Amino acid sequence: MIRSSQGGRMMSESRIAASYARLLHDYLQRQGHDPSAVLGPQTLTTQHFVPMAVWQTWLAAVDDHEGRRPALGLRIAEGVRAQHFGVVGYAALACANLGEALQRMERFHASVYDANPAHLSVHGDTVCIEWGVARGRPGALVDETGLASLVQLSRDLVGKHIPAREVWFVNETPADLAPYRQFFGGEVRFDMPCTRLVLDAAWLAHPLRKSDPELLAMMDRQAEALLQLVSQVPSAIEAWRRSLVPLIREGRTTLAELARLHHTSPRSLQRRLADQGTTFQALLDETRRHLAEAHLKEGRLDLAEIALLLGYSEQSAFTRAFRAWTGQPPAQWRRAQLRGASLPGASVHTPAP
- C-beta separation of 344 from 333 below 8 A: no
Domain of residue 283: give its range. Answer: 213-341
- 200 falls within a domain: yes
In a domain, 349, yes or no: no
Residue 20 and residue 152 in one domain: yes
Helix (H, G, I), strand (E, B) or coil at 273: helix
Helices (H), the chain: 18-30, 35-39, 52-65, 72-77, 86-92, 98-107, 140-158, 178-184, 213-227, 235-249, 255-261, 266-275, 280-298, 303-309, 315-326, 330-341
Question: Do 173 and 240 have their domain in common?
Answer: no
Alpha carbons 353 and 342: distance in angstroms, whole number: 23
Q: The domain spanning residue 255 has which CATH number?
A: 1.10.10.60
Judge whether 196 and 184 are in contact, CB under 8 Å: no
Distance, in Å, from the CA atom of 198 to the CA atom of 298, rounded to the nearest integer, reads 40
The CA distance from 17 to 50, in Å, is 6
Q: Name the DSSP class of 170.
A: S
Question: Which pTM value belongs to this model?
Answer: 0.68
Number of domains observed in the structure of the chain = 2
Q: Encode the chain (353 residues) as per-residue pLDDT tens digits.
A: 333 333 345 656 788 888 899 999 999 999 999 999 999 876 565 567 889 999 999 999 999 999 999 999 999 999 998 888 887 887 787 777 999 889 888 877 777 887 888 899 999 999 999 999 888 899 999 999 999 999 999 999 999 999 999 999 999 999 999 999 999 999 999 999 999 999 999 999 999 886 655 655 666 666 666 566 544 567 778 889 888 887 887 778 899 999 999 999 999 999 999 998 899 999 999 889 988 988 888 777 778 778 888 888 778 889 999 999 999 999 999 988 877 665 555 444 433 33
Q: Which of 177, 205, 233 is the last residue of a domain?
A: 205
3-class DSSP state for residue 70?
A: coil
Exposed e or buried b per residue across 182-193, where buried means at least 16 C-beta atoms within 10 angstroms of its C-beta: ebbbbebeeeee
Residues 186 and 217 in one domain: no
